[in-house]
């Protein structure tokens, strides 16, 4: 069983590769999480977790990460990814992500709307939102990625 994370950061990147997997891997590298083993998690940021933008995670670590990504092999296609964290003053936070064939602002707006909806569904007070996003125009095979890695 993994311990509960105490730190997190938001990151996003876009990259090209020779195939879909290496485009994804190159985006992970640019996002500073390419040398760790990301474990996909859902939408809860543990209570008291501290934002640490310069966080360095040891290579090979198992890292709980909420993320969204999209790859495309259609030259000229616009792909975007966004991830957001909503904070409550009283309890845990929520994470939402979106990735799609859209402009960056659309991805950001979808994430914000989902955060607001998720807080309302839980009858929680939303005190702050942080969102990161990126967009990419595919050359050959591209990837847009947005993530919230969490650490101990």
Question: How far apart, in whole angstroms, are the C-alpha atoms of residue 152 and residue 150?
Answer: 7
Rg (CA), the chain: 15
Q: How many CA atoms lie within 13 A of 76 on its CB side?
A: 0
Residues known to be catalytic:
37, 42-43, 97
């Amino acid at each position: 069983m993994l311990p509960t994370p105490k730190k997190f950061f938001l990151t996003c990147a876009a990259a090209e590769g020779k195939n879909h997997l290496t485009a994804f891997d190159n985006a992970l590298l640019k996002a500073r999480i390419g040398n760790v083993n990301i474990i996909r998690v859902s939408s809860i940021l543990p209570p008291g977790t501290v934002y640490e933008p310069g966080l360095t995670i040891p290579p090979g670590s198992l890292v709980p990460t909420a993320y969204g990504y999209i790859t495309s092999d259609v030259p000229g296609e616009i792909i975007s990814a966004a991830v957001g964290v909503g904070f409550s003053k009283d309890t845990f936070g929520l994470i939402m992500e979106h990735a799609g064939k859209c402009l960056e602002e659309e991805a950001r707006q979808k994430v914000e709307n989902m955060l607001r909806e998720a807080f309302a569904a839980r009858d929680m007070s939303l005190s702050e939102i942080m969102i990161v996003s990126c967009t990419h125009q595919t050359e050959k095979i591209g990837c847009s990625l947005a993530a919230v890695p969490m650490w101990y």
